[in-house]
């Protein structure tokens, strides 16, 4: 593999999304320094970033004919493979990044931190995530993961004058670095076991080993724990509430959706391709972690009074559900994960978009009480908020329901009845705190100086589009199930 280092057009082809994102990121840095700053219209950086997303979308469309019906494009001697799974996750990242850019344009302006670097970081993070979903090699995956993580550390702390933002960035950096270290350690053990960094080769080496010995368990545990940190699974979720609360709200939404999706993509690849033969060892581990995650996420969310913390714990709980899709370890489970993540983009971004716009006297208003009586001031947006909350709960016919539907179906199909009952009953628990949000909006008494919604055209469009898609996927899910559900099955091939 190392003998001939030649870069062909094929290699370029599979890396296109990441290359384009990096180019646009650098472009933003340059134009911001030499052009946009002089005009004083720094929201133009957001426009540049959106153009970048459009180019990525075009590239992903270009991939489609090749990855349909199980095809794949291979590059860099098999260490990057663009298949249905990779393209699907890239679509998720693209949607999340575009929404993050749109929300940030207004939010960063209001916070007085409108800078080009921020948008460049959004794109750099996305470049990392793009490879996390297509990488088939430990080194490639690790570098991609770190590209994403480093960008996020900076974005979380981007509000330089905010103590909470700084604290959040520090926490995220330290815990993130710790988990990356664990993951790297696990990867090195895997290399020791197999003598290769390629996932497929590692999978074969593990399958050829006679039994599950302590060295394999060591690799399994270190890599799992490293990834548990990234997806904020209990008991490794402690960073999530603080980071979600302190980060600029659009970043919070971006981290909660995209970084979670990317980490799951890496996790699915690793567990299915490399650990597929020792499933009996990790399925119980994941099942326990999933139950713990749903328990802690749901129960802790009940008592939160800060909206961002509430959604942070809710996001932890959703991570638990998605993990259950992997526990089932079947095609239905994977479909569930894909649809869950796709729906999560819209419903979670929708909710965060509203929170990002909520302001009192120019200060960001992020408490549950700030929503009180919002219905009287903005009935349309309040209806949208109710739709997002109901979708997050999993009430049909809204997008969020189908993810849970497939995950329950996968669990029942594999005979995990008890797990399914746990997961189902936690839906009722989660309804309690999502309804606290709805209650505040609809039934709360407005305060003397109520918080108002501060939006520009972009935020409005993003919010309405998220709402419409949440309902549309719910009522007419056929196309989305076809696209999302079938493309991820490439991971099983």
Partner 1 sequence: MSEHILSIIWLTPLVGMIAVMCLPKESKDLIRYVANGFAVLGLLVTIPMIRAFDSSNGDFQMVERHDWIPALGAQYYLGVDGFGYLMILLTVVVGWLSILCSWSSIQERVKEYYAFFLFLQAGMLGVFMVLDVFLFYVFWEIMLVPMYFIIGIWGGGRRLYAAIKFFLYTLAGSVLMLLGMLTVYFKHYEQFGHYSFALEDLLRVAAYTGPDMQFWLFWAFFVAFAVKVPMFPFHTWLPDAHTEAPTAGSVILAGILLKMGLYGLVRFAMPLFPKGATDELTVQLVALLSIVGIIYGALVSLMQSDWKRLVAYSSVSHLGFCTLGLIALNPNGISGGMLQGVNHGLSTPLLFLAVGIVYDQRHTREIADYGGLANRMPVYTVLFAISLFASMGMPGLNGFIGEFTILRGAFEVSIWWAGFAVLGIVLGAAYLLWLFQRVMLGPITNPKNEGVKDMNLREIIVMAPLVAGCFWIGLYPKPFFEILEAPTTKLVERLDPGYFSRNAAEPADEAVQLSRLLPAETPASE
Nearest-angstrom CA–CA distance, 282 and 469: 35
- Look at residues 208, 355, 206, 369 and name the one whose alpha carbon lies nearest to residue 274: 206
55 binds partner 1 (CB under 8 A): no
Give min distance, CB of 89 to partner 1, in A. 20
Of 179 and 430, which CB lies nearer to partner 1 in the complex structure? 430
Rg of the chain over all Cα atoms, to the nearest angstrom: 22
Per rule CB under 8 A, count of chain residues that contact partner 1: 28
Q: Which residues of 325-339 are buried (b: 16+ CB within 10 A; e: fewer)?
A: bbbbbbbbbbbbbbb
Q: Which of 442, 462, 466, 469 is close enough to bind partner 1 by CB under 8 A?
A: 442
Closest listed residue to residue 401, CA positions, set 475, 345, 317, 302: 475
Q: Which of 51, 302, 425, 447 binds partner 1 (CB under 8 A)?
A: 425
The C-alpha atoms of residue 265 and residue 131 are separated, in whole angstroms, by: 10
* 174 touching partner 1, by CB under 8 A: no
Residue 137 φ/ψ, nearest 5 degrees: -140, 135
Residue 427 touching partner 1 (CB under 8 A): yes
How far apart are the C-alpha atoms of 217 and 230, rounded to whole Å? 20
For partner 1, which is the closer residue by CB, 157 or 320? 320
Q: How far is CA 120 from CA 27, 89, 116, in A?
A: 8, 20, 6
**131, 136, 138, 142 alpha-carbon torsion, rounded to 10°:** 10
| Residue 371 CB, nearest approach to partner 1 (Å) | 15
Contact 241, 313 (CB under 8 A): yes
> Does the footprint of partner 1 cover residue 478 (CB under 8 A)?
yes
- Select from 16-24, 182-190, 412-420, 451-459 the region that touches partner 1 (CB under 8 A): 412-420
According to the binding rule CB under 8 A, does residue 416 interact with partner 1? no
Q: Is 203 in the site for partner 1 (CB under 8 A)?
A: no
Q: How far is the CB of 397 from partner 1 (least distance, A)?
A: 5
Q: Which is nearer to partner 1, 191 or 435 (CB)?
A: 435
* Distance from C-alpha of 162 to C-alpha of 455, rounded to nearest angstrom: 22
Output DSSP code: residue 135: B
Q: How far is the CB of 470 from partner 1 (least distance, A)?
A: 14
Separation of alpha carbons 343 and 356, rounded Å: 20
User: 58, 424, 447, 457: which one contacts partner 1 (CB under 8 A)?
Assistant: 424
344 binds partner 1 (CB under 8 A): no
- Binding test (CB under 8 A) with partner 1, winner from 271, 477, 488, 490: 477
According to CB under 8 A, which residues from 376 to 405 bind partner 1?
Answer: 390, 395-397, 405
The residue ranges that bind partner 1 (CB under 8 A) are 390, 395-397, 405, 408-409, 412-413, 417, 420-421, 424-425, 427-428, 431-432, 435, 439, 442-443, 476-478, 481-482, 485
């Amino acid at each position: 593999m190392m003998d001939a280092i030649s870069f062909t057009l094929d290699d370029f082809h599979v890396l296109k999304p990441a290359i384009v994102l990096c180019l646009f990121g650098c472009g933003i840095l340059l134009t911001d320094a030499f052009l946009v700053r002089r005009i004083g219209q720094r929201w133009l950086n957001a426009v540049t970033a959106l153009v970048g997303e459009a180019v990525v979308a075009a590239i992903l469309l270009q991939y489609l004919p090749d990855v349909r019906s199980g095809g794949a494009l291979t590059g860099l001697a098999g260490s990057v493979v663009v298949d249905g799974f990779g393209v699907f996750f890239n679509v998720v990242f693209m949607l999340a990044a575009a929404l993050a850019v749109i929300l940030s344009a207004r939010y960063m302006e209001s916070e007085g931190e409108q800078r080009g670097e921020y948008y460049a970081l959004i794109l750099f993070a996305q470049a990392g995530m793009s490879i996390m979903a297509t990488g088939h090699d430990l080194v490639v995956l690790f570098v991609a993961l770190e590209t994403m993580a480093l960008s996020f550390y900076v974005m979380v702390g981007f509000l330089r004058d905010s103590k909470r933002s700084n604290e959040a960035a520090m926490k995220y950096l330290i815990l993130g670095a710790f988990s990356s270290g664990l993951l790297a350690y696990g990867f090195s053990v895997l290399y020791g076991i197999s003598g290769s960094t390629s996932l497929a080769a590692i999978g074969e080496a593990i399958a050829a080993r006679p039994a599950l010995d302590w060295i394999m368990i060591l690799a399994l545990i270190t890599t799992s724990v490293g990834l548990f940190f990234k997806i904020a699974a209990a008991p490794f979720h402690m960073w999530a509430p603080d980071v979600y609360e302190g980060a600029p709200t659009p970043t919070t939404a971006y981290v909660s959706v995209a970084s979670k999706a990317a980490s799951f993509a890496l996790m699915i690849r690793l567990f299915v391709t490399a650990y597929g033969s020792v499933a009996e060892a990790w399925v119980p581990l994941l099942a326990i972690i999933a139950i713990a995650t749903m328990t802690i996420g749901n129960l802790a969310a009940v008592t939160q009074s800060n909206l961002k913390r509430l959604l942070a714990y809710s996001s932890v709980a959703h991570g638990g559900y998605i993990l259950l899709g992997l526990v089932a370890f079947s095609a239905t489970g994977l479909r569930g994960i894909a649809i869950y993540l796709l729906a999560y983009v819209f419903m979670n971004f929708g909710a965060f978009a509203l929170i990002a716009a909520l302001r009192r006297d120019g200060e960001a208003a992020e408490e549950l009480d700030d929503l009180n009586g919002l219905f009287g001031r903005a009935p349309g947006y309040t209806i949208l908020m109710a739709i997002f909350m109901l979708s997050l709960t999993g009430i049909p016919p809204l997008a969020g329901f189908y993810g849970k539907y497939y995950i329950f179906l996968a669990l029942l199909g594999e005979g995990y009845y008890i797990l399914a009952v746990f997961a189902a009953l936690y839906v009722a628990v989660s309804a309690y705190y999502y309804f606290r949000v709805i209650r505040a909006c609809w039934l709360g008494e407005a305060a003397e100086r109520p918080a108002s919604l501060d939006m520009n055209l972009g935020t409005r469009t993003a919010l309405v589009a998220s709402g419409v898609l949440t309902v549309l996927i719910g009522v007419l899910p056929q196309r989305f199930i076809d696209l999302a559900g079938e493309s991820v099955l490439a991971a099983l091939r």
